[in-house]
Amino acid sequence: MAATTSVEIDGELLERLRERWPEKPDRQLIEDLVLIQLGFAALRSSQQRNALSEDAALELGVRAVHEARTGS
């Protein structure tokens, strides 16, 4: 089992989480949300690394439509 640590969380926020997912224990609620946030951070990082300018994206889109229409 992984090492654990104690944290403090706003009681109102925790209560809202409990109301939304009453079947989950507190630990699972918090761990799930942390994993979601880490996933969003990874997605943002990936999008920033692979970002196209608006002009480049438009050119790519036009080229794809042209190729789809001509079959090449």
63 falls within a domain? yes
41 falls within a domain? yes
Can you give the pTM of this predicted structure? 0.63
* Tally of domains within the chain: 1
Q: State which residues form the domain around 71.
A: 31-72
7 falls within a domain? no
| CA angle in degrees (0–180, nearest 5) for 11-7-13 | 25
pLDDT digit string (tens) for 23-67? Answer: 999 999 999 999 999 999 998 888 788 888 888 888 988 888 888
* Residue pair 47/39 in contact by the 8 Å Cβ criterion: no
